[in-house]
Amino acid sequence: MKINAKHLILDLLLAFNQALCAKDAIAACRLFGVSENSVRVALARLSAEGLIEAEERANYRLSASALTLAGDVATWRTAEQRIKSWDGTYLAVFSASLGRTNRTALRKRERALQLLGFKELQQGLHVRPNNIEHDINSVRKRLYNLGLESEAIIFIAHEFNAHTEQQIHALWDTDALNQNYQQLHQQMATWLLRAQSLEPQIAARESFVLGSKAIKQVVFDPLLPEPLVDVKARHAFVEMTRHFDQVGHQIWRDVIGN
């Protein structure tokens, strides 16, 4: 798997929630065949883009602008705590009046909607089951923090006809979601059984690749309710991902000395 130095550095900063020195960044990236020069270029670019900030002695932290998104992504470990019972209603976001010419605003809008599991039912109208967050004001706050424009209309929708209900349910590939829960759970369980027999550098590299794949699934999981997905399988997968993440962190600390 080819690793992007910028992505690896950001993942390490997010995972360890502390400053990362250039020496450790170079050591981590070396495990994936990334040269020292490429790491230094990546650090310079991340700094120029305002995603990281340099401290004394070549230590780097996530910048304030990066922490908003990073803070939301970091909550993947407690994502299931945001789920509530589904009453059959839907959360809806209407953004057709906002336009699509501002590419930066559009990218932030789409990212915010994706992170909360919304899908586009019609142009400018995104929906999802109303089974996340305590109330709609909490949904609004989170979407706005993630970059959705405050002019977007966020509301609760219900009493769709049967055909539209079917269209809504078909927006998500629920078979693929259930399959991912089971497959990733099994892959992590199998890897953990042989982890102690691996060389530390190999274990670090493999745990990063598999762990990143699992965490990405959790971060972008729409957290759909029953009967759309197998909620028990998802819970078991998330629990395994938490455990795998803890093991991976210890492996990386041993390898790079944090």
189-222 pLDDT per residue, tens: 999 999 999 999 999 999 988 998 999 899 899 9
Q: Which of 10-14, 117-121, 172-176, 210-214 has the lowest mean pLDDT?
A: 10-14
58-71 pLDDT per residue, tens: 788 888 767 666 67
* Count of residues making up the chain: 258
- Please report, for the domain that includes residue 57, its CATH number: 1.10.10
Is residue 226 in some structural domain? yes
pLDDT for 14: 74
Confidence of residue 257 (pLDDT cuts 50, 70, 90): low
110 & 153 share domain: yes
pLDDT at 258 > cutoff 60: no
165 & 178 share domain: no
Burial grade of 193 (CB within 10 A; 0-12, 13-18, 19 or more): exposed
Q: What is the distance in angstroms between the CA of the first residue and the CA of the last residue of the chain?
A: 24
Nearest 5°: phi and psi at 163? -65, -45
pLDDT for 51: 83
Q: Which domain holds residue 249?
A: 174-256
99 & 157 share domain: yes
CA dihedral 191, 196, 201, 205 (to 10 degrees): 10
38 & 114 share domain: no
- State the greatest distance between any 2 C-alpha atoms of the chain, in Å, as a whole number: 62
Single residue among 139, 169, 199 that ends a domain in this structure: 169
130 & 195 share domain: no
145 & 201 share domain: no
- Please report, for the domain that includes residue 90, its CATH number: 3.30.70.2650
User: What percentage of the chain reaches a pLDDT higher than 70?
Assistant: 95
12 & 89 share domain: no
10-30 pLDDT per residue, tens: 887 877 667 888 888 888 888
